[in-house]
Structures are given as structure tokens and as C-alpha cells.
Structure 1
């Protein structure tokens, strides 16, 4: 489940938790509310980790410390820790450090992953994952995918590393659309409410005509949106045939960005909020 929410290999999840806190049984991880991955446990303030439970932490560390800071492999992390220690790391080009331990912490994590592989092979291989039920996601309506669908494109690549959380909680659909808008030069109010409330925000024009770089505000329950809060997505492309591509967050899990396409007839049923 955590792999599905974070897109981090389950073996990597176990390896980090095992080496960071002995699977939550040591150090800061034993504090109430803290996580077993060391996420938020700064040297100057380790108790900050108490603000992130395991599920939030595994998504956060994937998006921020691994992807955002260019630490996609444990070897990269070891190499950067050594560069940081001798003063040759350039965070602007190399990305930030995930950990600063120069004793080979990354190698030990990689060895844990290899041991898991061996154990699985010796015990019948990996079982087939259970199929997801549509009731557990907001996929209802449209075609959802993890990657940009063939035949569609973005005008600006998505990069969440600089996204702010001052008014919208990290990882939520509202956090994503507010920041994605800024990324392409479109401004929405920092207090638009829940996703389904964006269409009612005074001072913003709405339309049922699909509009590139607008916010698609789903009413509660519409196209699989949350039955209470609704949902918000960002319109990346409107094709000449009227079909649209949207990007959205927290459909497949907190902080996870996915894509959805709608045909022209379906797209006309939605409400689009035009940014400033």
C-alpha cells in the first residue's frame, strides 16, 4: 500500500525503516506521532519528526528528499555524503543531501534490499498484488494514468520542489493546483477552500468551456470526487477535438501526481475556474 502511495520500491521502504530506526523501535521513531523513516528529524530538532506519521513520511521522503533532491539511488546518497563532508557538494547542481553519514549507510540499505530479494526468491517469489477496487480511488470518470498519456503534452514540466504549504496542506489536491498554477504563470487565491468550493470563489470567472491552465472544480461526488469536499484538478491541455488532459494530486495517494483525460462531451459538463 505504501509503495502504491509513494511510488517508492517496497524493498527500499523496508531498507530505510530498518536502517533508520530498526523498523520504528529506536530513536526518535519511538516518540508519539513520529515516523520510522527519520523524515523531519533534523539534527538541530529531531522532535520535528513527530509531525509526520509513517504514511505521510513515506510519501514526503520520496517526493522531497529522494526525487526533489536528486537522491534516486543509495549509491548517489553515499557519494554525496562524502562530497558534503569534504566541502565539494554543490546543492544547486547535485541536489541536497539525504543523509550526511559517510560510513556507507546507503550501501547497507542496498544490502538490505538484496537480502529481501533473496528471501522472496527462496520462498516462492512475489505474490500477485490484489486488484484495486474503484471505490478506493477517485478515478470515477475519465481515464487515469501515472504518466502523461500518449498524444498529450504539458506546456511546462511539473516540478513540485518549490511548492509552498502556507495555506494549503502538503499533498492535497488544492495544494497542488494552487502551486501548479503559479508554475505556469496563473494565480489562484491562497484561500479558495476545498476543491468543490473553488467554483464559488468571488472574483474568479467560471466557464463550462474547457480552458487550458484553468482549474477544474469537481462538485462533491462528481466524476469520483470526494462526496463531501469535491476535488480540484489542473487543465494541462485542451485538444482540437475538445478532449482534455488534467493533472491532479491525491487521487492515488497523498502527494502523488497523476493524469486524467476526458472526452469532449464529458469535459463540457465540468466547471472551470479561470486564474488571474
Structure 2
């Protein structure tokens, strides 16, 4: 979700990155290799020694948490490791995306036994097969565009007032670019005020005083 919404990765590219994170740490943000001086989901160098460089110096804090590490990843993808983003974010092949992420972000040669290239590609395909069933698709000229949520208005419905794009009071609790940010501000524009502290979208369903329905209604 973070790669696709924050960094605009295709679903194939995100699947490739997941395969590498699974290989490196099993998705454990607290994973450490003291001997190698690395830690985190992508086993960044500079944790306990700087023999292989000090990539942890770019983190906002020396904290083994998913939030800190995702921000470190973004810092690198938009900085010294932009080449990784250039290749992987637009990938249409999860297997190739995993190899490109491993080579350009981890710095591991594809011929190196540490790459575990065959398993890496199998895992990338596994993640793609799992994720593709849960991510929306849009269509251009009859061709599906992977990793892009549909913006089509459902048949029989229309938009009478376009979204203003304005961020209203209270929306600071929802990260800009996320669905909750949009829903909060779009509703506010239409005269509906949600609580500023309802959490992720999935948390809204259990908020006292609200109910969930699959029947669309105006606003």
C-alpha cells in the first residue's frame, strides 16, 4: 500500500519489492545482523558498524520501526537510490522487478548466491498473484492498467460537484494521498463532518455510531 500510494509503484513493482523484503528480513522491522552491521526490513548498513557504509544515517531516527523504515526507504528512492524507483515503479513483470530491486537497491549482483534468484522470482510472482485480486484496475482503450485504482463513476451515478482538493480542519490526522484523507475532505466539502481521529479505513467500520452497508447512497 505504501509503495503504491506514496511512491506510485505498479502492483508488479510492489510485488518485487515485497519478495526482496521477505528474503532480507521476513518483513521484521526489528531484524538485526550485528555481525554484518545491518538491520531493518531491507537490512540497511550502518546499524552496528559502518563497514558496508552508513545508510541508517538517512533515517529520521535510529529506531527499528516500520514507520521509520518506510520513510528511510522513501528518502533513498527519491535520492541516492532513485535508479531503483525508475526501474521498479513502472515494472510490468513482478519477477524482473524483484531482480531489479535486489540489484539496484540491495546492491547484490544477480550472480551472487545471496540473491537466491529463483526463489526470489517465485516469491515475487506469489505476492503478485495474491495482491492482484485485491487491487482495483482502470481501463484505457480497452486495456487494463495494473496497480491503478479505478476512477470511473459507477453506471447510473453522476458527480454534481467536483472535489475541490481542499484540506479542511481536522484532516491532518489522515495522511495526504490516502483514501481516508480524501474521504474526510470530500465529505467535509459536502457538509458532512467525520471525527478527526478514526484511524485507517478499516477502523472506521467499528467506530461507535457508524454502520457499514454495501448499498450506495448520496454522499
**What TM-score range do you get, normalising by the shorter chain?**
0.3 to 0.5
- Normalising by structure 2, report the TM-score: 0.37
Name the structure with the higher strand share.
Answer: 1
